[in-house]
Amino acid sequence: MKQACHYASRLASDSLDRPLSLWERLRLKLHLSMCSNCQNCDNNLKLMRQINELMRNNHYGEVRLSDQQQNQLHKALDKHSASVN
């Protein structure tokens, strides 16, 4: 992974937990406009966040996924990413 991609994926992840500064948002947006790998990463993070919020809103409480379930989710996300491109 390129250093720019590493930084962008970190910013994308951080953006789910805290507001990014203007400079961080600009750097992330610029990188996402040029890098399809990081676009996929950003889309997957947002999808996982949406799933998480959906589960919370439906009062499932603390949902813990087994390793096998996590692998299945990762495969589904990979398929989702492939279908988006």
Applying CB under 5 A, which of residues 38, 40, 44, 77 lies at the interface with Zn ion?
38
Pattern 52-81, binding to Zn ion, x per CB under 5 A?
A: ------------------------------
Query: What are the C-alpha distances in Å from 9 to residues 14, 38, 49?
Result: 8, 6, 15
Pattern 5-24, binding to Zn ion, x per CB under 5 A?
A: x-------------------
Q: How far apart are CA 53 and CA 9, in angstroms?
A: 21
Q: How far apart are CA 16 and CA 48, in angstroms?
A: 10
For Zn ion, the binding residues (CB under 5 A) are: 5, 35, 38
